[in-house]
Amino acid sequence: MTPINMLKSFSAQWPILPCVAIVVFVLYKLSVARNKSSLPLPPGPRPLPLLGNVLQFPTQNLGRGFRDLSEKYGDVVHLRVLGQSIILIGSYEAACDILEKRSANYSDRPSSAMVELTDLDWVFVFKSYGPEWRKYRRVMHNAFTPDAIARYWPVQLQTTRELLHNLLTSPANFSAHIHFSFAATVLRTVYGLDISPGDDKYYQLIERLGLITANIATPGQHSVEAFPSLRYLPSWLPGMGFKKQAAVWREESAAVRDSLYKSAKETMVRTGVKESILTMMTEKYAEEDLVRNLTATIYSSSADTTNASTHALILALAMHPEVQRKAQAELDNVVGPDRLPEFSDRDALPYVNAIVKEIVRWHAVAPVGGAHRSEADDEYNGYFIPAKSIIIPNQWAMSRDPAHYPNPDAFNPDRFLSNGKLNPNVRDPATFVFGFGRRICPGRHFAEATLFIICASILHTMNIGPALDENGVPKKLEMKTNGLAVERPKPFECRFTARNAHMEELVFASET
């Protein structure tokens, strides 16, 4: 629910309007009183009394909406929404200055009534900055160093080759195959659990957790986020449906986390210990809660975001056969006709690597990134940033910066190449799509490696094209997303066919 829709819905719910009016008035007076600096706030649209900039807050396509505000007011924009200062960061340079160079002041997360109501502060991305967060971050970092992820390559290769087999066997079900492949990869990597084709129990668990966290992380979905005091009102009042929803999500999310951890422990007893992130963490850290919380966080976030990127990759390739042909020529030259790609081929495949860079730029999975919060008053370029401001980096706008990515809406891997090599002078989108400062995604190296091996393996063995209508005419493909904090492409249809009979034999032989 967007801020505007919240207000519209409240207008029909008169019993709580007096409470809301009082809350808004108090927040507004407190926020005005808090700005004691002689410096001006960053530029932004003129706020209305009480409501602030609710009417200027985008109701959909947040990345594009915030970009429009930045184009009008500058790289750093101030909004006041119902008494809360919000700072929009519209450029990479400003994001680095504020969130990287001053990370000690900008590593906290904004408080969230829905996170508190659902008890989801055990999820690492929601956890407040402090000693416990730093401990969790250190453990996560150790699990995903470049050296550590090399241990997971055999599992990634196995599940990727099973994916190739499934794509050629039943291509119409490609989306389900991709979902299963990631579930199998991350489940084995994180928990040491193996699943058989058709066993979607674990995937359904993590899919549910991913949807819950994405919904809570998306701005404007719940009225209680704008008016936290609503949580103290009786649940029978109109507009209190979020309480029932939060109770359901609290039970579901804890059940998913605990079920996965219990299954892994029971499997170790029955079949023996398999190397995994869980076993690595258990050996080094005795705290069961930490291990249980972090493994569930890794499983849900890895499967959710990389799933979204892979679907976007398939869609982009189906829309651009010329990109497929260029990649296949490179793969034929480097890998050859008699084997499948390996991780060791990565450095010799600059065009395939350019495709991976372009997909994470072209489809920014988290368009506005994770919100940060300033702990203390600050100054930037002569402007005052109040303590407890919500800081939103517009990663979508950074991915569409024409100064670095000419014709930014086009899918064009060549933009990252010069003379057949990756061009170090072109900004790598990995420097912003995975977040900033101490809140940067620990699993970014794992995600990029996963996208590489899937992209190389599929393009080496098969062609991707649009689905055909009843007259044999290719259907039009376009990118449409769900609009949540983790943007997934909406369902689409496409075809997978082996490049030739020899490649088909290679795919099916790889599973024996």
The CATH number of the domain holding residue 95 is 1.10.630.10
Residue 10 has pLDDT above 50, yes or no: no
Write out pLDDT tens, residues 98-113.
999 999 999 999 988 8
Structural element, H or E, at residue 89 = strand 84-89
Average pLDDT rounded to a whole number, residues 270-280? 84
Closest listed residue to residue 167, CA positions, set 318, 358, 302: 318
Residue 399 has pLDDT above 50, yes or no: yes
Residue 17 has pLDDT above 70, yes or no: no
Q: What is the mean pLDDT of the chain?
A: 87
Average pLDDT rounded to a whole number, residues 468-482? 90
pLDDT of the residue at 512? 52
Length of the chain as a residue count: 512
pLDDT of the residue at 285? 74
β partners of residue 509: none
**CA dihedral for 167, 173, 175, 176, sign (positive or negative):** negative
Closest listed residue to residue 91, CA positions, set 69, 118, 123, 109: 69
Count of structural domains within the chain: 1
pLDDT of the residue at 4? 40
Query: Residue-wise over 191-219: b if at least 16 C-beta within 10 A, else e?
Result: bbbebeeeeeebbebbbbbbbbbbbbbbb
Choice between 282 and 414, residue whose per-residue pLDDT is larger = 414
Write out pLDDT tens, residues 386-398.
999 999 999 999 9
Range with the poorest average pLDDT among 46-50, 160-164, 503-507: 46-50
The span from the CA of 394 to the CA of 411, in Å, is 20
Closest listed residue to residue 94, CA positions, set 361, 396, 428, 380: 380
Per DSSP, 103 falls in state: G
Average pLDDT rounded to a whole number, residues 12-34? 44
Q: Which domain holds residue 183?
A: 3-509
Residue 417 has pLDDT above 60, yes or no: yes
When pLDDT is cut at 50, 70 and 90, the band that residue 198 belongs to is low
Average pLDDT rounded to a whole number, residues 409-414? 98
Choice between 435 and 36, residue whose per-residue pLDDT is larger = 435
Residue 34 has pLDDT above 60, yes or no: no
Write out pLDDT tens, residues 428-455.
999 999 999 999 998 899 999 999 999 9
List of E strands, 168-294:
none
The crossing angle, in degrees rounded to 10, of helices 444-461 and 288-319 is 40
CA 82 to chain centre: 27
Range with the poorest average pLDDT among 74-78, 265-269, 409-413: 265-269
Which residue has tokens 């620990």?
A: 442
Closest listed residue to residue 396, CA positions, set 125, 90, 69: 90
The CA R_g of the chain, rounded to the nearest whole Å, is 24
Per DSSP, 436 falls in state: -
List of E strands, 241-319:
none
Write out pLDDT tens, residues 479-511.
998 777 778 899 999 999 999 999 999 999 976
Average pLDDT rounded to a whole number, residues 350-368? 96
pLDDT of the residue at 484? 72
User: CA angle, corner 443, sides to 438 and 449, nearest 5?
Assistant: 140
The predicted model scores a pTM of 0.88
When pLDDT is cut at 50, 70 and 90, the band that residue 22 belongs to is very low
Q: Judge whether 174 and 494 are in contact, CB under 8 Å.
A: yes
Residue 16 has pLDDT above 80, yes or no: no
User: CA angle, corner 193, sides to 192 and 199, nearest 5?
Assistant: 160
pLDDT of the residue at 148? 87
Q: Is 19 annotated as a binding residue?
A: no
The span from the CA of 444 to the CA of 365, in Å, is 12
Range with the poorest average pLDDT among 19-23, 159-163, 188-192, 234-238: 19-23
Closest listed residue to residue 510, CA positions, set 458, 449, 465, 446: 458
When pLDDT is cut at 50, 70 and 90, the band that residue 147 belongs to is confident
When pLDDT is cut at 50, 70 and 90, the band that residue 55 belongs to is confident
pLDDT of the residue at 5? 40
pLDDT of the residue at 511? 64
When pLDDT is cut at 50, 70 and 90, the band that residue 33 belongs to is very low
Residue 19 has pLDDT above 70, yes or no: no
Q: Judge whether 41 and 384 are in contact, CB under 8 Å.
A: yes
